[in-house]
Amino acid sequence: MKRKWNESYELGKKAFDEKNYNEAQIYLEEVLKEKDGFADVYNMLGYIYYAAGRRSDAIGRFEKALKINPNYTEVSLNLAVIYNEMGEFDKAQGVYGKAKEAGKESATSYLDPFAKGKLANMHAEIGAIYQGLGLYKEAADEYKKAIVLRPTFVDIKNKLGIVYRDVRDYSKAVKELEEAISINPEYTPARINLGITFFTMGQVEKAKAEWLKVLHKNPNDTKAQMYMNLVAHKK
């Protein structure tokens, strides 16, 4: 029986988060057969293709993601990484510039922890859909509702930090990401994204410091390696 596109979307995101890239690719490509308006799908596929050595395919996916959502900071940096590795430094510098410009108590308190967790995840899922469509205010509202319910869900604070970064509210982005790291210092995505945020703010040394902390704990972390390669080529 054929899967619905939203089922493929959720399965693809889950596989990607778990670094099962071959599986994620299958699901995400299924999504594109029916829906082509999700910038995050193109970004994930771009990263998968990059990891597989398919640079031109990766560039195509990243460019499509930016066409859908020009403020998607992570995509801009991913694209810059590839251009640097190909020796196309002028293109990389152009992407840097665009990235910097773009990188612009409740009534439910009675709920038990399980119910709060379930509701928090539902708000986060809705927020992710809004975020993928570039509706940042709506995405932030959903993530904030989720955090009110479960303040220690670092993955949601990480997502809210990304939203703030992509609308260039850097102080709020840094606050959310640093809080996520404070709650769980082992949660790598928040530290990676804090580095990206510092980079878009022009604070390259702070960005490097965050990525180096990731590599200190896991020298094989692909994203941290990729971004360190990026700053190594930056003049």
Question: Could you give the CA distance from residue 181 to residue 9 in angstroms, rounded to a whole number?
Answer: 28
CATH assignment at residue 31: 1.25.40.10
Cα-Cα-Cα-Cα torsion 154, 156, 158, 159, nearest 10 degrees, comes to 170
Q: Which residues contact 56 (CB under 8 A, 6 or more apart)?
A: none
Query: Same domain for 138 and 226?
Result: yes
Query: Same domain for 210 and 137?
Result: yes
Interval 119-159: pLDDT, tens: 888 899 999 999 989 999 999 999 999 999 899 999 999 99
Query: Same domain for 96 and 130?
Result: no
Asked, for residue 108, whether it belongs to a domain, the answer is no
> Position of tokens 């590839």?
82
Predicted confidence at residue 93, as pLDDT, reads: 80
Q: Which residue from 175, 176, 235, 160 is spatially nearest to 204, judged by alpha carbons? A: 235
What's the whole-model pTM score?
0.65
Domain of 140? 113-233
Query: Same domain for 177 and 65?
Result: no
Domain total of the chain: 2
Question: With the C-alpha atoms ordered 46, 48, 50, 53, is the resulting torsion angle positive or negative?
Answer: negative
Asked, for residue 107, whether it belongs to a domain, the answer is no
The last residue of one of the domains, among 102, 127, 162, is: 102
Predicted confidence at residue 87, as pLDDT, reads: 84
Query: Same domain for 85 and 127?
Result: no
Position 98 pLDDT exceeds 80: no
Asked, for residue 169, whether it belongs to a domain, the answer is yes
